[in-house]
Structure 1
Amino acid sequence: MSADTKRGLNRRRFLSTTVASVGVLASPALAQSTGATVEIESDITSTTRRNISSFRSLRWQPYFQTLRKGAILVDTTSRAAHYWSEDGSTYKLYPTSVPLSEELTRRGRTSVVRKVEGPDWRPTPSMKRRNPEWPDYVPPGPDNPLGTHALYLGWTYYRIHGTHDTRKIGRRSSNGCIGLYNQHIAELFALARVGTQVLLI
């Protein structure tokens, strides 16, 4: 096997197993403004439908005391992210990927501390121990496991980000982060701001 072939195989293996969670559809699958119901548009793929374990709209009051600076709730059981704007006029619901195991899952309260469009990526030390073949650095672009946008959280190494791998939506597939389709993270990125509350349950 030539060196070029080996590199191609390693690159495909890396892309199919990275920390990223979800990816791109041709058009938005979910994006619901304030309302009592949540609609899954007809263009959502059948694979994505199977992967989403349950989808329902929620009210913010059981989870947050106020909507100051907006709020993001990530439900790791239903594999969904909910967003409410500060004035309560906008509500969005997105399918997500979640961590592979309980050991990798962090729950609790934090906030958005940084927003990056076109993020680069470095595997954490624990990821490199588990996957020594992974590269030390991936620049922004189509091979980046963080997709097109990333919301960095107050916890080290934890992010809500996009992905280019559409197969992982609705699944336990990440090394700790929460992943969205690239078009959904772009929308959430525009809505959220530094200081937006985040709760993972």
Structure 2
Amino acid sequence: MFKRTALALLAGASLLAVVPDLALAIDAVPREPTVIYATQPDASVRTASADRGNMGGGFIEFLFGDGQGPRTRQPPAYQQQPSYEPRGPYLPPQQQVQPPEANDPTQRPLDPMYEKQVVDYSGKEGAGTVVIDTPNKFLYLVEGGRKALRYGIGVGRPGFTWSGVKSISAKREWPDWTPPAEMLVRRPDLPRHMEGGPENPLGARAMYLGSSLYRIHGSNEPWTIGTNVSSGCIRMRNEDVIDLYGRVNVGTRVIVL
């Protein structure tokens, strides 16, 4: 035991003799500044920088330590950055997918202003008169007290509109349809006769105007309400023409503006 202690002291003295200023050199080693990380390393794990402050660097630690050399510093824990998911390729407006109603007229909802509603009416016509406002696409059934029921309608295409005073000469439920000769000249693909029913273009009800070929009738194309679409007839939604049909009689005066 005495021999081992003497040998250790002799080795230390020899080292100091080779490097006489070793103690001063150890004190002169610059110490790293203290760094505080988001998550501090485990206090039980010693780092090379901490040991170097007490042992004078890796070489001295190797001599007097466990012989494994400097240990690796534990990496700091940084806050995880948010991920950004790709949103897909940019498409110009003309190539973007449009809602169904933009491409398919059958899916377009009815404009609320064409819904049946009670409105103020300042005209001179008496109660029970039907007034058709062709430019604005409304049909009025005049009531008492300066009120009227207003319905949205579809009217004639340019060149097929007309004006005048008529009276309802007949009423039909689910009427048959026989296209007039003039229409067949323009549309030879049309059937010569069609039985009444849901597929019939005259819809659920028809009110014939005088001796003319014009009618106030329903439609199996409700999305055309509010447009110039017919060959001169006044078309309504089926639910509206059924409502009007029950309120007017044969002989009712109809004024077309």
1:75 aligns with: 133
- SS of the aligned residue for 1:151 comes to strand
Higher strand share: 1
Cα distance, 1:71–1:88 mapped onto 2, change above 3 Å: farther
Question: 210, 220, 224: which one pairs with 1:168?
Answer: 224
CA distance in 2, matches of 1:113, 1:47: 33
The one-character-per-residue Cα deviations of 1:86-119 (angstroms, maximum 9, x if unpaired) are x569731110000011x21120111111111110
Instruction: Tell me the matched-pair count.
Output: 150
Query: Is the counterpart of residue 95 in structure 1 residue 147 in structure 2?
Result: no
Question: Please, which of 53, 57, 61 is the counterpart of residue 123 of structure 2?
Answer: 61
Point out the more displaced range, 162-171 or 185-194. Answer: 162-171
Aligned-partner residue type, residue 254 of structure 2: V
Q: Given residue 195 of structure 2, which amino acid in structure 1 is its aligned partner?
A: P
TM-score (norm 2): 0.53
Q: Secondary structure at the match of 1:48?
A: coil
Equivalents in 2 of 1:153, 1:79: separation in Å? Answer: 18
Residues 28-67 of structure 1: CA distance to partner in whole angstroms, max 9, x if unpaired?
xxxxxxxxxxxxxxxxx96422896xx99452533x2x33
> Aligned AA for 1:49?
D
Instruction: Tell me the SS of whatever aligns to 2:182.
Output: helix
1:18 alignment counterpart = none
In structure 1, runs of 5+ residues without a counterpart are: 1-22, 24-44
Give 1 or 2 for the bigger CA radius of gyration: 2
Check conservation: 1:51, 1:170, Cα contact below 8 A.
no
Identity over aligned residues, as a percent? 31
Within-5 A mapping of 1:9-158: 47-49=109-111, 57-59=119-121, 61-62=123-124, 64=125, 66-67=126-127, 70-85=128-143, 91-101=148-158, 103-158=159-214
Give the Å deviation of 1:165. Answer: 0.9
Q: Amino acid of the residue matched to residue 129 of structure 1?
A: V
CA RMSD of aligned residues (A): 2.6
| Aligned-partner Cα distance in 1 for 2:175–2:140 | 22
